[in-house]
Every structure is written in structure tokens, then in C-alpha cells.
Amino acid sequence: QIACDHMNTDSLATDSSPAQKPWSVCLDDRFGLAHQIRSKQCRLYSLGLGSDDTRFEVSMANNGCEVHRFDPSVKSAHVLQNQRLWYHRLSIDWRDPHPAVAAQKPHSSTRKLGSVLNEFGHHKIDVLKADLESAEWKVLENLILEDVLEQIGQLIFEIHLHWPGFEVSGSDSSVVRFWYSLLKELELKDFRLFHSYKDLSKPQLFLKKDIFNASSCYTLSWVNTRWK
């Protein structure tokens, strides 16, 4: 939807294994991220579920970003890996725990992104990266419904198409309409797609729910054209 002349992507790394996912950010001066990185004021949130590949996060931290990696598999509640890279034992969800559950588990490891931003006192995220293994559609819906998108400069999401996703149900056509409505909402919020990546070594499946252990995904990158 929009041309980005300067992109950084981890696909330039020497390891060209097919499992690698190029997470791309747009560094054109008109969108401000390059300036934030140069002035050491960049903040990146990375949402994951046990992935060991954190080269993108390490690279962004080395370039001057304050990086927060949220992953329920992290051993300790909060770990400062190096000067700019934090690991948090938290799973970002589309809802907060029920109050009754939260009362029994005051240190529950599930939060909505908006709740985490409030807890951490962060008002803006320059880059939000998410690799949530099919939970991304409901998380994206939550970001739209709660106007959290306005606090985000660039979105990099891995989206899965081989089944509807967690807590998404209905006929194939209604699932596609739900997905499409979220993508159109991003557009209405002035987010524009600047990069798309598909690993051609993976199966090319679309809503094949009956195939076990199948995966079909795209890595999509959007920039908030209103971002200041």
C-alpha cells in the first residue's frame, strides 16, 4: 500500500535457513522511527510464545532501542538481558484475567497490551512485533477496539491462515469477513502495509482445519502514517 525506501530486515543475516522470518521496519525519515533510533528514544515490544529466535530483538536493542520481549516461557518474571533488552514472563492476550482469578493469582502472567502499557507507564511503542501462533487475530481485534493502535508506530504481525485462530469461529466466509474487517480497520486508522513476506517452503494452505500440524502464514508490516 505504501513504498518504503529504507527497510531493515533480518533476512540479510548470513543464516539463510527457511525457518527464518524477516521482520522488517520502515526507516524512511518521514515516519520518525530512524530519528527515534538515532536519538536512543525508540521502544519496541515483542510478543511471542516460546520462540528462541530473538535476533531481530537483539539487533534493535544494539541499534539503540529499548526492547521489551513478552513471553510466558521466560524463566523469571522480569530479566534485564543487557542494557536495552528486557524479558518479561507475560503472555499478551485479548482480555485480562477474570477479577476472581486475578484475586487468587495476583501475579497472573496474562494481560492485555493496554493494561501492560498502563502498568509500565509507557504511552507509545515505536514498533510492535507479534508472533502469537494464531492468537494474533483476537489480539489485533482488541488493539482496535480499545484504541491502543494510536499508541503504536509500526506493526509487524505474523498472521496464520490455515485455521480461523483462537476463539474465531463460524463458516469459512464469516471467518474471512472477520479477518478482512480487521485489516480494513487498520487502514481506517491510517496504517499502511509496506512489506509482506511468505515462506514458500511452508504449506500453502487456506482454512484447511482438518490437516494436523499444518501452518500457513505471512509476515506483514504496517506503518502508522499519522505517527509523530
Would you put residue 161 in left (φ > 0), alpha (ψ -120 to 50) or beta?
Answer: alpha
Fold of 41-224: Rossmann fold (3.40.50)
Comparing 103 with 131, which gets the higher pLDDT? 131
| Mean pLDDT to the nearest integer, 181-188 | 96
43-47, strands of its sheet edge to edge: 78-82, 85-88, 66-70, 43-47, 125-130, 152-160, 217-224, 191-198
Distances (CA, A) of 165 to 65, 86, 94, 104, 137: 31, 28, 13, 29, 7
Neighbouring CB atoms inside 10 A of 85's CB total 21
pTM (two decimals):
0.86
Q: Is the Cβ–Cβ distance between 120 and 86 less than 8 Å?
A: no
| Mean pLDDT to the nearest integer, 199-220 | 79
| Mean pLDDT to the nearest integer, 131-148 | 91
Neighbouring CB atoms inside 10 A of 201's CB total 8
DSSP code at position 169: -
- Letter for the amino acid at 86? W
pLDDT over 80 (residue 34): yes
Tell me the per-residue pLDDT of 80-98, one tens digit each, with 9 for 90 and over. Answer: 878 899 999 888 877 665 5
Comparing 48 with 221, which gets the higher pLDDT? 221
| Mean pLDDT to the nearest integer, 26-33 | 92
